[in-house]
Structure 1
């Protein structure tokens, strides 16, 4: 009974290793069904744990030899007892390799259904990827990438079109001179024209582009000679109180006819003839030109240009005892323009000259400063172009020198960060010590000058954006600033550096250029008070870095970076 129940019921599922497969066509069991085992397989166990007609439990069974079961004539229908093994207990995971089924036509008769299905999926996937042609695309992309890398070259920057619209920029950013000429063209022009190598020795006083017997040049020189024969008045006689002085400043205006281009390029120095009969101005530019302008002449022939130097004219002065002499200094020489002989004499020839001043009222001797820091004494009465004495004052750079207006033995030197007073009587070749040091400067000093009448004040212009006034009435070893004025002195490379110069008629007022807008020239008091700003919205649109005041009249002349002079005077 137990064996019958075991034969009619489904067997318990065994592990993959011990699971036994059932096959149709074996001996008939107790349940009336024929059971058999394939060769090498165990029989189905009964209730007693042994297969019918087999060895006792625990013994290894040998497969019984017998004839193989013939295959059916046609494949069984799906779901039929033949398909499922007649007893309905065919294992779904069977490999289908029994002798009662037909071998697959693909040659994988020794594989299970799972493995055949897996191979089928692999084949279908391979066909799908082959249809996408991924390998061909990858090979093509690799070939293109390799080809590009082999021909990689640095791409040149495209040049801007000449007619490309650009935003508005200043002349400094466009590297264009204030005259409107590009810097490259200016350099080429300067190399060929504006920087001619002026020969040593005397030069005839002939305007540029004119002949020696030109009528225009003769008229100019005649006018210069005539006004130099007149004696100038003493400036002290015109000193007035502050209220009247301010009123006179307000009466000075700039008109269009008093603006003129006198030299070709940037103005680096100026001088006003002391004549009271007419206004005669001299200006030197950065290329060595010296322009003379008769402002009182209303015609276009009022200005003439001479070329006595090969480089920038940094200092100019009319002789205090003989205004027919105009002394001008450039880097390579100090010359005297003598209108009586119509010649530019050479007084001193050297390198790195920076500035000069007269040591005596008769202007026979002069003190010269060098860019490399030394100073020298030059005597015009001595033959030759060498100096009498050269002294190292300990400066790295000497930009300006100025002699005390009363005590001529003292002179003021302004250098990199130093402003000192020296006694010329004790100068020696080296080891010189200053009589007094004007302290407080933190950057390079552009200029320093004594006040014109007594020399009791000194005004300096420093790159730390400050103007300083010192009390030099008593020359103590160290002098601190009496007043400090904040002032924008950042002129850069396109403008001549500011120089604060005293009004020749006063001890307490000085004039200096300005970067403020609207463009103006400022006049300060020694206390730091701004007394007046010279401006003209219609006629003054540029920075006047170099300015000079007439010694006896209410006249101010300012020069800009394009070679133009602006004359403020009473109407």
Structure 2
């Protein structure tokens, strides 16, 4: 007890050095004395001890000026040692907090008897009533594809309700989007027309040994001049001209743009690129006509197929759907006169370009959800493969009916959406599928049976996300048992696989290939590979002997 008193005296000596801020210390002790004390053991001696403790605290407060007081406690026999120590701690804490004068300090900071500044209530904004009249809104001439003038922009009345974009109707002139590039586009179109003269059918190459094919891929390189921005938006489709004299690449993108790039022409470090806009929605598929390479056919999600004829300098309508739901097409005939068109809702249409009608000759419902694409068998052209939600199937055109058609073969299993399914280009003995379940599968279609066996399964990251085009594994026309596909691996690369699942080669370059090339295409006879990314840029790997 004596030692405790000595510690308390030292603490009080240190507290005396603190500056006094307001009310005297006795106020805190007075408040302490008014606090009710818990009676000990419920008898009178306990209450007597509480009163004596309060009196002792008051006496100590009055004798603070001397600095040598001692705390005296009632040594009642009825209190245990724990109760005595507890009461002593309570008294010490109360005296310590009373000496700090915290209440007075708070009043000095906030003002005597005042409170903090009141928050002003901001008035609520009144809702503007809709008068039902049309609003006058300024629209950009550049976005409207109008000529810029020195006069003020016209004020166009637009409806307050949502507007739908009207798709283009009728033939469209094959003119450049930017008038500044008109001369360059004209030269490009002349080149395109010149290399398309004569027969454009490609002779089938003899199959190479895998070792020889792998060596030829290693000779293919990329350089600065083989990288160019061809479309203003994300690349969704690619096609390469079959000419062996000059290399011409066509790219289709979102918002209906088509870009043509002449790889063999480069004047004053300016690439020969022409851009057109024949559609108003994403272009999902591009093909040069197998009979006339001066024509390029494109299908868009706006429900239309157009044929760009460079000789006539026009984009003609080939097929127009009632809804905006066309997804892909392929040639049913070798001369490209008959097309098979797929729709997202599971319908297919047969279009004969020779009839002059753009509505289609036959329509059928396959009962598929999210019909992404169709691929026609290269030899038995009445068979075609489909890629849809969680399934890849083969149908026979001879069995198509208006109400519903049944598949003649199934390629299982696919647990998620199938992005693509392509027959091998020469014999059609294999089908390669790319699925969102991170798998690439190869099926043996040498015999069309109800259950097509899967001969190879390759684990491949196909999760491209929202802002990249979906991966599509496509065959190399020069080697029909090998295919190319984009890759999410870092450093960025383009993969080449064999139909057995063996990786044959990786196209990559630390400086000139730094993005994901989701869409890829191989030249039918030359060692040229073109890959497109999500910014409209194309990357070309070419044999060293061809780059000169």
Judge conservation of contact 1:448–1:461 (CA < 8 Å) in 2: yes
Indicate the residue corresponding to 1:281 in structure 2.
249
Matching residue within 525, 539, 545 for 1:552? 525
Judge conservation of contact 1:440–1:480 (CA < 8 Å) in 2: no
Identify if the C-alpha distance between structure 1 residues 206 and 476 changes in structure 2 by more than 3 Å, giving closer, same or farther. Answer: same
Indicate the residue corresponding to 1:200 in structure 2.
169
**Quick one: distance in 1 between partners of 2:297 and 2:208?**
31
Matching residue within 447, 453, 459 for 1:486? 459
Matching residue within 320, 330, 342 for 1:349? 320
Matching residue within 564, 567, 571 for 2:537? 564
Q: Structure 1 residue 289: deviation in Å? A: 0.8
Compute the TM-score of the two structures, normalised by the length of structure 1: 0.68
Bigger Cα displacement from structure 2, 298-307 vs 190-199 = 190-199
Judge conservation of contact 1:271–1:317 (CA < 8 Å) in 2: yes
Identify if the C-alpha distance between structure 1 residues 490 and 124 changes in structure 2 by more than 3 Å, giving closer, same or farther. Answer: closer
Determine which structure has more spread, i.e. the larger CA radius of gyration: 1
Indicate the residue corresponding to 2:8 in structure 1.
none
Deviations 1:181-202 (A, max 9, x none): xxxxxxx999767998552110
Indicate the residue corresponding to 1:20 in structure 2.
none
Judge conservation of contact 1:235–1:504 (CA < 8 Å) in 2: no
1:113-128 matched pairs, under 5 angstroms? 121=55
Judge conservation of contact 1:233–1:552 (CA < 8 Å) in 2: no
1:334 paired to 2:305: yes
SS in 2 for 1:257: helix
1:323-472 matched pairs, under 5 angstroms? 323-332=293-302, 333-350=304-321, 351-472=324-445
Identify if the C-alpha distance between structure 1 residues 246 and 301 changes in structure 2 by more than 3 Å, giving closer, same or farther. Answer: closer
Q: Structure 1 residue 228: deviation in Å? A: 0.9
Q: Structure 1 residue 394: deviation in Å? A: 1.3
**Quick one: distance in 1 between partners of 2:440 and 2:398?**
30
**Quick one: distance in 2 between partners of 1:514 and 1:134?**
71
Deviations 1:13-53 (A, max 9, x none): xxxxxxxxxxxxxxxxxxxxxxxxxxxxxxxxxxxxxxxxx
Judge conservation of contact 1:232–1:276 (CA < 8 Å) in 2: no
SS in 1 for 2:256: coil
1:542 paired to 2:515: yes
Q: Structure 1 residue 347: deviation in Å? A: 1.1
**Quick one: distance in 1 between partners of 2:56 and 2:165?**
92
Judge conservation of contact 1:397–1:415 (CA < 8 Å) in 2: yes
Q: What count of residue pairs does the alignment treat as equivalent?
A: 422
**Quick one: distance in 2 between partners of 1:406 and 1:544?**
30
Indicate the residue corresponding to 2:499 in structure 1.
526
Q: Structure 1 residue 430: deviation in Å? A: 2.4
1:315 paired to 2:288: no
Judge conservation of contact 2:471–2:485 (CA < 8 Å) in 1: yes
Matching residue within 181, 195, 199 for 1:227? 195
Indicate the residue corresponding to 1:69 in structure 2.
none
User: Which runs of 5 or more residues in structure 2 are unaligned?
Assistant: 1-47, 63-93, 123-139, 147-163
**Quick one: distance in 2 between partners of 1:211 and 1:205?**
15
Judge conservation of contact 1:235–1:551 (CA < 8 Å) in 2: no
Deviations 1:261-303 (A, max 9, x none): 1111211101001011110110011121100111010222511
1:237 paired to 2:199: no
Identify if the C-alpha distance between structure 1 residues 149 and 433 changes in structure 2 by more than 3 Å, giving closer, same or farther. Answer: farther
Matching residue within 292, 298, 301 for 2:260? 292
Deviations 1:39-96 (A, max 9, x none): xxxxxxxxxxxxxxxxxxxxxxxxxxxxxxxxxxxxxxxxxxxxxxxxxxxxxxxxxx
**Quick one: distance in 1 between partners of 2:183 and 2:56?**
112
Indicate the residue corresponding to 1:185 in structure 2.
none
Judge conservation of contact 2:200–2:291 (CA < 8 Å) in 1: no
Identify if the C-alpha distance between structure 1 residues 509 and 134 changes in structure 2 by more than 3 Å, giving closer, same or farther. Answer: closer
**Quick one: distance in 2 between partners of 1:517 and 1:121?**
82
SS in 1 for 2:366: coil
Q: CA RMSD in A?
A: 3.5
Deviations 1:411-435 (A, max 9, x none): 1110011100001111112231100
Q: Structure 1 residue 139: deviation in Å? A: 11
